[in-house]
Amino acid sequence: MNLRYAWVLALAGACGVVPWAHATEPLRLQEAVSRALGANPALAAEAAQLDAVRARAQREGLAPQYFVTGELENLGGTGSLSGVNSAESTLRVGRLIELGGKRAARQALGAAEIDQQQTAADATRIELASRTAARFIEVAVDQQRLDFANERVRQAERTRREVAGWVSAARNPESDLRAAEIVVANAELDREHAEHELSSARTTLAASWGDSIPDFDTVAADLTDLPEVEPLDTLLARLPNTIDQQAFSREARLAEARRRIAEAARKPDLNFNVGVRRLEGPSDQGLVMSVSVPLGSRTRAGYSIAEADAQLAAIEARRKAEQFERHQLVFEKYQELGHARTEVESLRGRVVPKAEQALAFTRRGFEAGRFSFLSLSQAQTTLFELRERLVEAYARYHTLLVELDRLTATTQDTLP
């Protein structure tokens, strides 16, 4: 399983999706991640949100619009102002004249918001790829658990038949046959549990791409293959460029854009309009013009600038805190990964083979009448428990590798 490839697919979005052929073929990790990235509703929501942010940025980046105002005065009154003979009508055309680079500041804010939403979409893809990979591993592990459960049932059935023969020959007591039947019943219960765990894991994996019913039977994964992890220093060197750190950079850029808007607001805008006024009495016309300027802009802008500066300081503090926490988390996962590899190598290289030898020795002794059924049952139980522990160690290693990949994933990842 090439887990880094999953992040390449995630960061590539829906492009280059690996097609999946038929339900009868085992599902591969790359295919599972590709299907999730191509059909998960969360990514459709992020794409729609990105479109919304782009539309808002385009709207906010427009120049102030013109406005037309009509006025009618001195009509329908009393005395000389009765009727419309003394009426005055005015038609004005006006516009807000922005000063201080406010439009450019709004455009910069819109671009920062687009970048922030794009980073959020990248983070969602990384999270989805990670979750899908973890679910894929769980299916592979449950497949192995079911294989072991089936093997345990076969071994229990074989032992029960042997014990039944020895009981019939009056070599073993009837109690041994009852104990063997209990072992068979427990093994069948364990198999039933493994079957529904696998069914649940398959359904959970299918939900990653929006299917309620899995359209695959098995997954193709070699749990015994433990990919080498990069050196710890290499992983830690990736942390400044992770998606989470980029999110802080985008947030800081957004705060800087808002600060620029606040700085531009220190220079007040002009509300200018010009028009024509007609006086019905003398039937004369004349031009009218007005200019208005708000007061107190610098004071208000000063508070907005102070707010933006405080936000920038808070973002930088959170960024450093997250970097420290991420450093510690990567170190911790790396150590756990090393322990999982050590456990796997010890179990499959020494412990499990010894348990297999012990079972073979005990079975020969049981068949020769030197060992009791209890000794044989204990040897079988020990072997299957160790095999289950080995599977758990495999699962832990691959799951930790997925987590390390997620914690250190960057947009600079490329296909190997």
- Give me Rg for the CA atoms of the chain: 37
In the chain, DSSP finds a helix count (H) and a strand count (E) of 10, 4
Alpha helices in 368-416 (DSSP H): 373-407
> What's the pLDDT at 294?
87
> What's the pLDDT at 50?
94
> What's the pLDDT at 79?
65
What is the C-alpha to C-alpha distance for residues 338 and 212, in angstroms, rounded to an integer? 37
Buried b (16+ CB within 10 A) or exposed e, 192-219: eebeebbeebbebbbebbeeeebebeeb
Under the banding of pLDDT at 50, 70 and 90, the label for residue 1 is very low
Short-list 98, 46, 136, CA closest to 267:
98
pLDDT per residue as tens digits for the range 230-243 = 999 999 999 998 98
Cβ–Cβ under 8 Å, residues 183 and 156: yes
Short-list 411, 392, 415, 395, CA closest to 403:
395
Going by the DSSP 8-state scheme, the letter that residue 188 receives in this structure is H
Under the banding of pLDDT at 50, 70 and 90, the label for residue 14 is very low
Short-list 322, 330, 311, CA closest to 247:
322
Range 29-408: architecture per CATH: Up-down Bundle (1.20)
Going by the DSSP 8-state scheme, the letter that residue 124 receives in this structure is H
pLDDT per residue as tens digits for the range 329-369 = 999 999 999 999 999 999 999 999 999 999 999 989 888 88
Range 314-324 average pLDDT: 94
pLDDT at 259 over 50: yes
> What's the pLDDT at 413?
54
* Predicted TM-score of the model (pTM): 0.81
| Lowest-pLDDT range of 12-16, 30-34, 322-326 | 12-16
Under the banding of pLDDT at 50, 70 and 90, the label for residue 90 is confident
Cβ–Cβ under 8 Å, residues 115 and 256: no
Is the dihedral angle over the CA atoms 197, 200, 202, 205 positive or is it negative? Answer: negative
> What's the pLDDT at 279?
82
